[in-house]
């Protein structure tokens, strides 16, 4: 059967894409879990959070019924704490560090408790942060993703006027457009962005792209400082024959379309191969299954020991019925009448460690073939090389090169998030935005320590 739209009935889409991490059903259920917390001194859960959320403090606030205080504790460190409670790979961050793991007991469900408090803050629109009176300084932020929003919110709290230029029609960046729909819904993402912007002093210009509609030279003159948080682009090319055939798609575009167009509008194959083993690859594979693909096979050129996704993410894919072929790299996509009919892959072995410190995959010379009608590319994302070079920024492999947290080679231009690091977790981008705001405040002569 060829690649096609609308394979399932509406109720099947609803069932397949319902919230994968449902909230506590009752207040008592939240309290039972919160009361298990040992309020550790020098808490490892806090140390393992890139934004340094004071986990024992917010959990204790839940136990005393101070949900507003709990939400403030979370959001003061991570303004996207509501979204992060749904999308963070907590098994390798806070929950993975919880001392209960050492006792071979279930860790405190920190993400679920964080969701409990922050969702209430969003639902009730609690005003937890005040904006200081305007100080007469203007900052332009490029990108309304996690780094841009975090930077803008921190600056606005200090009375700085912020204008965000966002190329899409909605804010939230990858949270809105690049994560599986069963983790966060478009409605939730919009609520979170609205909540962040409700502090005031932040004007968002949607549909405006740097390098196309606005130039860095103009912004440098018009604003006191510019913060670049334009993220990364489409999936890396495979650079193999057949890559241009109909049925070879980019994972980011595939996930974006599911979020933007709706489940029944996105074509999916009957037999799908996904290339890569990061979170984006897992999100693409699981969603292909949930859109109705009969078979989904994930190919990864290394072994399970080197996979970038967490075991929990892999478990989701396996439970969805996706198959994995380890030590396999795409070699050629075969087509007929311009459409994908199969994928030829190299069998790999691991050789000496490469620059990443992991053992490098090496082709053995043996190959195998998979009958597929769709290939989804999810082997990393490409930085916006031309954008960075044309703006006169120092670059490193297409990413913006910074020194000392967020400072670029241009005096009033700062940068952070995925356009600097090449793509990390949402929570890392939020912290980058905070770091960028601090550097900008220092530059403007308004240091906050
Ligand atoms: Fe509570 Fe676990 Fe953090 Fe200790 S490590 S403070 S038990 S959540």
Residue with the smallest CA separation from ligand 1 atom 1 is: 37
> For the chain, how far is it from start to end, CA to CA, in angstroms?
61
Residue written as token pair 């904006």: 131
Residue with the smallest CA separation from ligand 1 atom 2 is: 98
CA distance 199 to 177: 24
Query: Is there a domain that residue 53 lies in?
Result: yes
DSSP conformation class of 371: E
Please check whether residues 363 and 389 belong to one and the same domain. Answer: no
Query: Is there a domain that residue 448 lies in?
Result: no
Q: Using the 3D structure, point to which of 327, 345, 380 is the last residue of a domain.
A: 380
Query: Is there a domain that residue 280 lies in?
Result: yes
* Planar angle of CA 423, 429, 432, nearest 5 degrees: 120
Q: Using the 3D structure, point to which of 350, 380, 410 is the last residue of a domain.
A: 380
Please check whether residues 95 and 159 belong to one and the same domain. Answer: no
**pLDDT recorded at residue 165:** 98
- Taking only Cα atoms into account, the Rg of the chain, rounded to an integer number of angstroms, comes to 22
Q: Using the 3D structure, point to which of 360, 380, 400 is the last residue of a domain.
A: 380
Shortest CA distance to 289 belongs to which of 268, 303, 307, 262? 268
CA distance 201 to 307: 42
Please check whether residues 390 and 362 belong to one and the same domain. Answer: no
Give the position, in ligand 1's atom list, of the atom nearest the Cα of 38. 7
Query: Is there a domain that residue 197 lies in?
Result: yes
CA of 162 to the centre of ligand 1 (A): 37
Which residues neighbour 108 within 8 Å (Cβ) at sequence distance 6 or greater? 33, 34, 36, 37, 45, 59, 95, 98, 100
Which residues neighbour 405 within 8 Å (Cβ) at sequence distance 6 or greater? 416, 435, 436, 438, 439
The residues lining ligand 1, judged by C-beta closer than 6 Å to any ligand atom, are 37-40, 43-45, 55-56, 98-100, 108, 110
Please check whether residues 359 and 275 belong to one and the same domain. Answer: yes
Please check whether residues 226 and 211 belong to one and the same domain. Answer: yes
Q: Assign residue 351 the CATH number of its domain.
A: 3.50.50.60
Task: Tell me the CA distances in angstroms from 376 to 238, 241, 298, 299, 307, one per residue in order.
Answer: 10, 15, 9, 10, 18
Contact 309, 279 (CB under 8 A): yes
Sheet order of strands, 202-206 included: 202-206, 161-166, 138-142, 225-228, 413-415
Could you tell which of 39, 48, 91 is best to mutate to test the pocket of ligand 1, judged by most ligand atoms within 8 Å of the CB? 39
Q: Are strands 395-396 and 399-400 parallel, antiparallel or unpaired?
A: antiparallel
CA of 142 to the centre of ligand 1 (A): 37
CA of 95 to the centre of ligand 1 (A): 8
Q: Which domain holds residue 67?
A: 20-124
Contact 171, 144 (CB under 8 A): yes
DSSP notation for 335-346: EETTEEEEEEEE
CA of 334 to the centre of ligand 1 (A): 52
Residue with the smallest CA separation from ligand 1 atom 4 is: 40
Give the position, in ligand 1's atom list, of the atom nearest the Cα of 108. 8
Please check whether residues 371 and 243 belong to one and the same domain. Answer: yes
CA of 43 to the centre of ligand 1 (A): 6
How do the pLDDT tens digits run along the chain, 449 residues long?
678 999 999 999 999 999 888 899 999 999 999 999 999 999 999 999 999 999 999 999 999 999 999 999 999 999 999 999 999 999 999 999 999 999 999 999 999 999 999 999 999 999 999 999 999 999 999 999 999 999 999 999 999 999 999 999 999 998 998 899 999 988 899 999 999 999 999 999 999 999 999 999 999 999 999 999 999 987 889 999 999 999 999 999 999 999 889 999 999 999 999 999 999 999 999 999 999 999 999 999 999 999 999 999 999 999 999 999 999 999 999 999 999 999 999 999 999 988 878 889 999 999 999 999 999 999 988 899 999 999 999 999 899 999 878 999 999 999 999 999 999 999 999 999 999 999 999 999 997 76
Single pTM value for the model: 0.93
Residue with the smallest CA separation from ligand 1 atom 3 is: 45
CA of 421 to the centre of ligand 1 (A): 29
CA of 129 to the centre of ligand 1 (A): 27
Number of domains in the chain: 3
Tokens of 1: 């059967």
Query: Is there a domain that residue 4 lies in?
Result: no
Residue written as token pair 């071979």: 104
């Amino acid at each position: 059967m060829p690649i096609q739209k609308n394979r399932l009935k509406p109720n099947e889409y609803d069932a397949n894409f319902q919230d994968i991490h449902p909230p506590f059903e009752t207040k008592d259920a939240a309290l039972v879990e919160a009361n298990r917390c040992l309020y550790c001194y020098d808490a490892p859960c806090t140390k393992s959070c890139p934004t340094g959320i004071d986990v024992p403090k917010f959990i204790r606030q839940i136990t005393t019924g101070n949900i507003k205080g709990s939400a403030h504790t979370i959001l003061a460190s991570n303004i996207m704490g509501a979204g992060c409670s749904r999308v963070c790979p907590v098994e390798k961050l806070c929950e993975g560090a919880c001392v209960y793991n050492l006792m071979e007991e279930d860790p405190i469900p920190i993400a679920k408790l964080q969701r409990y408090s922050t969702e209430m803050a969003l639902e009730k629109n609690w005003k937890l942060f005040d904006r200081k009176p305007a100080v007469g300084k203007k900052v332009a932020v490029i990108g309304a993703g996690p780094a841009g929003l975090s930077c803008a919110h921190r600056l606005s709290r200090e009375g700085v006027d912020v204008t965000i230029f966002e190329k899409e029609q909605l804010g939230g960046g990858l949270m809105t457009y690049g994560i599986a729909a069963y983790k966060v819904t478009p409605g939730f993402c919009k609520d979170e962005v609205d909540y962040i912007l409700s502090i005031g002093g932040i004007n968002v210009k949607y549909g405006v792209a740097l390098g196309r509609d606005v130039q860095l030279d103009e912004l440098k003159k018009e604003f006191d400082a510019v913060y670049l948080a334009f993220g990364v682009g489409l999936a890396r090319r495979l650079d193999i024959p057949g890559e241009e055939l109909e049925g070879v798609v980019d994972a980011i575009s595939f996930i974006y379309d599911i979020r933007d167009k709706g489940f029944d509008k996105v074509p999916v194959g009957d037999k799908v191969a996904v290339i890569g083993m990061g979170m984006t690859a897992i999100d693409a594979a699981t969603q292909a299954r949930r859109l109705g693909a009969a078979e989904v096979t994930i190919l990864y050129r290394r072994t399970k020991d080197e996979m970038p996704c967490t075991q929990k993410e892999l478990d989701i894919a396996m439970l969805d019925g996706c198959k994995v072929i380890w030590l396999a790299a795409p070699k050629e996509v075969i087509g007929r009448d311009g459409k994908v009919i199969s994928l030829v892959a190299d069998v790999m072995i691991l050789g000496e460690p490469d620059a990443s410190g992991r053992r490098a995959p090496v082709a053995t010379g043996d190959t195998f073939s998979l009958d597929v009608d769709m290939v989804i590319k999810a082997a990393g994302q490409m930085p916006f090389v031309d954008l960075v070079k044309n703006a006169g920024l120092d670059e490193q492999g297409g990413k913006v090169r910074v020194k000392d947290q967020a400072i670029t080679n241009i005096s009033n231009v700062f940068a952070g998030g995925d356009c600097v690091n090449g793509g990390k977790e949402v929570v890392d981008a939020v912290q980058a935005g905070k770091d960028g705001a601090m550097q900008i405040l220092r530059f403007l002569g308004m240091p906050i320590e």
